[in-house]
Amino acid sequence: MAAKSDAPTSAEYITHHLTHLTVGEGFWTLNLDTIFFSIVLGVGFLYFFRKAALRATTDTPSGLLSFCELLVNFVDGAVKESFHGQSKLIAPLALTIFVWVLLWNIMDIVPIDLLPTIFYAFGVEYLKVVPSADMSATFALSISVFVLILVYSVLGKGVGGFVKEFLTHPFGPVLMPFNIILNVVELLAKPLSLALRLFGNLYAGELIFILIALFTLGTSLTEALTSVSGWASILGQALLQFAWAVFHILVIPLQAFIFMTLTIVYLGMAYESHEDH
C-alpha cells in the first residue's frame, strides 16, 4: 500500500495492470512479458515431465511421477474418445496444450501486485503475467491448431478428397459457391472460438482481481492498521479475493480442458471424411 500522495488513481491503476511490456510498433509489437512467461512455464513443464520420466520405475512411484501419470492417462482417455484415426502426434499435442494452457491460467491466481512489484525493482515498468489474458498468445496457439486442422484434412482425405469435400459439402456440386462460403466460415470459426473463449474468460478473471485490489488503493499501511475503515477495507478485499480465487480455480482447469478437447475434436473431424458418417 502506498501513501496517498504517491498512489495512482483507479483508472491509472487499472490501465497500468492491463499494459504489456512491449517492444516494436504497430503490427510488429511484441509483448515481451507474454513471451517470457510462456517460455518459462513451457520449460518448467518440460523439465518436470522429463524428470518424472527419468525416475519411472516399477516400484512405488513418487508423487511427481504419479501426478504426471494421472495427467497422461487423463489426456490419453480424452484422445481415444474423440479421435478415431491413427496418429502419434495427437496425444502429445493434447497433453502439451492442456498443461501449457493450465499453467498460463494458473498465473491468474498469483497476487496481482506481487510480480509487477518485484520486476519494478529491476526497472520493468509494465508487466502482465497471465499469457492467456493476452489475445496474441491465445490466437497464436489457436492458429497453430488451425494449421494442423488443414494438415490433418489432407492426411485423412488426400488432397483430392479435401478439395472435393470443400467444394461439394454439404449441398452438392450444384451449389458450390454456397459450399465454399459455408466451409470457409466453419474453418475460420474454429480458431476464433478457441482463441476468444480462452482470452475472454481469463481477461475477465484478471480484471476482477484488479478491481478487487482497488479496495485498499491509496490507503497507507499505517492508516489501514489503525482505523476501523482500514481494517474493513482489508477484510473486505481479502474475502472477495478468496471468494473469486475459489471460483476461478474451477475456471482455470475447465478452460484448459475445453481448449484441449476442442482441439482433439476439430482434428478428428478434419481427419475423417463426411462420407464415413
Catalytic residue among 197, 227, 233, 273: 197
Assess contact for 104 and 41: CB atoms under 8 A. yes
Assess contact for 60 and 226: CB atoms under 8 A. no
Residue 49 and residue 55: Cα distance in Å, rounded? 10
| Cα 113 to Cα 47, 73, 116, distances in angstroms | 27, 36, 6
CA of residue 265 relative to chain centroid, distance? 18
Catalytic residue among 201, 227, 229, 273: 201
Assess contact for 77 and 260: CB atoms under 8 A. no
* Residue whose grid cell is 481479502: 238
Tell me, yes or no, if 197 is annotated catalytic: yes
Assess contact for 26 and 17: CB atoms under 8 A. no
| Cα 159 to Cα 155, 256, 258, distances in angstroms | 8, 32, 30
Tell me, yes or no, if 201 is annotated catalytic: yes
Tell me, yes or no, if 66 is annotated catalytic: no
Q: Which three cell numbers stand for residue 166?
A: 470443400
Catalytic residue among 144, 193, 220, 273: 193
Write the CB contacts of 52 (distance below 8 Å, at least 6 apart in sequence). Answer: 62, 64, 65, 67, 68, 69
The catalytic site residues sit at: 193, 197, 201
